[in-house]
C-alpha cells in the first residue's frame, strides 16, 4: 500500500476510526485503495468498488479526506474509480470522480475537460456534438469564454443540443435554452446554425418527436456519431447536472422512463408535469462517447432508485464533477 499525500496509512485509518467506521473494514469489504501523489497540489486515488453501498459510503467520507489533505496543501482530489455495477448500476463500466474544494476549481477543471474532448472529436470526426442540461451546467461552462479557450477551441465545429428542456417560452426563467444562452452560448463564437433548441411551442409528444427526428438527421449526416452497438446517437459529450435526489436531465426517481430497454427505439420522450418537458432517454445518454455528471453546493444523496445510478455509458467514459458541498451529506 502506497502512501497518501505523504501520510502513513495508519493516519488515514485513524481518521475513519474516529468516525466509528474502521477503514480496514471498508477496504476489505467494499473497496481496495491504491493511491499516489501526482503533484504537490493534486491527489489521485484509484479504487475498485465491489459493493453496492461502496460509492455512497465513499462520498460520505470525502469531506474528511478533504480536511485531512488541506494541511498538506492538497487543494483538490481526483478519484479514478473502477466500479462493479451488478447492483449499483446494473452493468460494468468505468467511472471517474473528481472532487473539488469549491465551484471555482470545479469550473476550471470542467472547462479543461470539455476543451480536451472537443479537440479530440474534431480531430477524429471533424465535429463536436454536445448535449446540455439545465441547472448549474451553463454557469460552469462560462469558463470557456475566457482564458485561452476562445483562441484554441474550434468553435465552428461545435454542434449544441439539449438533453432535456422545459416546454416554456425561450425567455422564461425555467428555459434551459435561455440559461445556456445567457450564461454560455452568447459569450462564445458557436455558429448560430449549429445550435439546436427544442421546439417549445407544441405539446410534449410532438416536441419530443420533432427533436428526435432532427437528431436522426444529424446522425445520418454524421454531425452526431452513431453508437457501434445500436442505432442510438453517440454524442461526443452529454453534460448533465445531478439534482440533490439524483435526478438527471428530466429523468426523475421512480419514473417509468428509467425502465427503458437498452435497445429502445425512442430517443426523446415527453415527461408530464408543470411545466411539461422532454428528455433524452437512458439508452441515448448511455450510448454517448462521454458523459459528465455535475453536482455542486447541495448535498448529494443517491437513493436506490436514483436516476444518476443508471448512467453508465456502454462504450464510453463517465466522469463525476463534485464540489465539497455536494459531498457534505
Q: How confident is the model at residue 255 (pLDDT cuts 50, 70, 90)?
A: confident
- The C-alpha cell that represents 86 in the structure block: 451488478
- The C-alpha cell that represents 288 in the structure block: 454517448
Q: How confident is the model at residue 264 (pLDDT cuts 50, 70, 90)?
A: low
> How confident is the model at residue 138, as a pLDDT?
93
The answer to whether residues 43 and 74 touch, using CB atoms and an 8 Å cutoff, is yes
The answer to whether residues 120 and 153 touch, using CB atoms and an 8 Å cutoff, is no
Strand order in the sheet with 164-166: 164-166, 277-280, 268-271
Q: How confident is the model at residue 299 (pLDDT cuts 50, 70, 90)?
A: low
Give the closest residue to 237 by CA, choosing from 175, 305, 290.
Answer: 290
Give the closest residue to 180 by CA, choosing from 44, 75, 329, 188.
Answer: 188
- The C-alpha cell that represents 150 in the structure block: 476562445
Q: How confident is the model at residue 261 (pLDDT cuts 50, 70, 90)?
A: low
- The C-alpha cell that represents 184 in the structure block: 454560455
The β-bridge relationship of strands 42-49 and 31-39 is antiparallel
Alpha-carbon distance values, 73 to 43, 67, 278, 320 (Å) = 10, 10, 44, 23
Q: How confident is the model at residue 246 (pLDDT cuts 50, 70, 90)?
A: confident
> How confident is the model at residue 237, as a pLDDT?
98
What residues does 240 pair with on adjacent strands?
293
Higher pLDDT, 222 or 91: 222
Alpha-carbon distance values, 257 to 97, 142, 253 (Å) = 26, 31, 10
Mean pLDDT of the 182-205 span: 97
The β-bridge relationship of strands 164-166 and 158-162 is unpaired
> How confident is the model at residue 274, as a pLDDT?
85
Q: What is the pLDDT of residues 53-96, one digit of tens each?
A: 444 444 444 444 544 444 444 444 444 433 333 333 334 344 89
Phi, psi at residue 265, to the nearest 5°?
-75, -25
Cα 58 from Cα 297, distance rounded (Å): 18
Give, for 9, the enclosing helix (H) or strand (E).
helix 9-18
Which residues, 6 or more positions from 113, have their beta carbon under 8 angstroms from its beta carbon? 292, 319, 321
- The C-alpha cell that represents 313 in the structure block: 455509458
Which residues, 6 or more positions from 75, have their beta carbon under 8 angstroms from its beta carbon? 41, 42, 101, 105
User: Does 179 have pLDDT greater than 60?
Assistant: yes
User: Does 17 have pLDDT greater than 80?
Assistant: no
The answer to whether residues 279 and 257 touch, using CB atoms and an 8 Å cutoff, is yes
User: Does 127 have pLDDT greater than 80?
Assistant: yes
Amino acid at each position: 500500500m502506497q502512501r497518501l499525500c505523504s501520510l502513513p496509512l495508519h493516519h488515514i485509518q485513524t481518521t475513519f476510526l474516529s468516525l466509528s467506521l474502521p477503514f480496514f473494514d471498508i477496504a476489505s469489504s467494499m473497496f481496495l485503495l491504491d493511491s499516489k501523489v501526482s503533484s504537490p497540489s493534486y491527489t489521485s486515488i484509484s479504487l475498485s468498488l465491489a459493493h453496492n453501498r461502496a460509492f455512497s459510503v465513499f462520498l460520505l467520507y470525502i469531506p474528511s479526506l478533504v480536511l485531512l489533505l488541506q494541511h498538506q496543501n492538497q487543494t483538490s482530489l481526483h478519484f479514478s474509480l473502477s466500479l462493479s455495477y451488478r447492483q449499483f448500476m446494473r452493468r460494468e463500466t468505468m467511472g471517474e470522480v473528481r472532487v473539488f474544494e469549491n465551484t471555482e476549481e470545479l469550473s476550471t477543471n470542467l472547462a479543461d475537460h470539455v476543451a480536451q474532448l472537443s479537440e479530440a472529436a474534431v480531430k477524429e470526426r471533424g465535429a463536436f456534438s454536445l448535449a446540455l442540461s439545465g441547472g448549474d451546467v451553463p454557469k460552469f461552462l462560462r469558463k470557456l469564454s475566457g482564458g485561452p479557450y476562445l483562441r484554441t477551441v474550434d468553435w465552428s465545429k461545435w454542434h449544441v443540443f439539449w438533453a432535456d428542456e422545459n416546454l416554456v417560452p425561450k425567455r422564461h426563467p425555467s428555459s434551459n435554452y435561455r440559461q445556456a444562452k445567457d450564461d454560455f452560448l452568447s459569450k462564445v463564437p458557436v455558429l448560430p446554425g449549429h445550435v439546436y433548441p427544442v421546439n417549445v411551442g407544441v405539446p410534449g409528444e410532438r416536441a419530443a418527436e420533432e427533436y428526435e427526428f432532427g437528431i436522426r438527421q444529424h446522425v445520418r449526416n454524421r454531425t452526431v456519431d452513431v453508437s457501434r452497438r445500436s442505432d442510438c446517437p453517440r454524442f461526443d459529450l452529454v453534460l448533465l447536472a445531478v439534482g440533490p435526489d439524483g435526478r438527471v436531465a428530466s429523468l426523475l426517481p421512480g419514473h417509468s422512463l428509467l425502465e427503458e430497454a437498452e435497445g429502445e427505439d425512442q430517443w426523446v420522450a415527453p415527461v408530464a408535469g408543470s411545466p411539461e418537458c422532454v428528455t433524452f432517454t437512458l439508452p441515448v445518454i448511455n450510448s454517448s462517447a462521454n458523459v459528465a455528471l455535475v453536482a455542486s453546493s447541495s448535498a448529494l444523496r443517491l437513493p436506490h432508485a436514483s436516476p444518476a445510478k443508471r448512467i453508465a455509458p456502454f462504450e464510453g467514459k463517465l466522469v463525476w464533477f463534485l464540489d465539497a458541498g455536494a459531498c457534505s451529506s
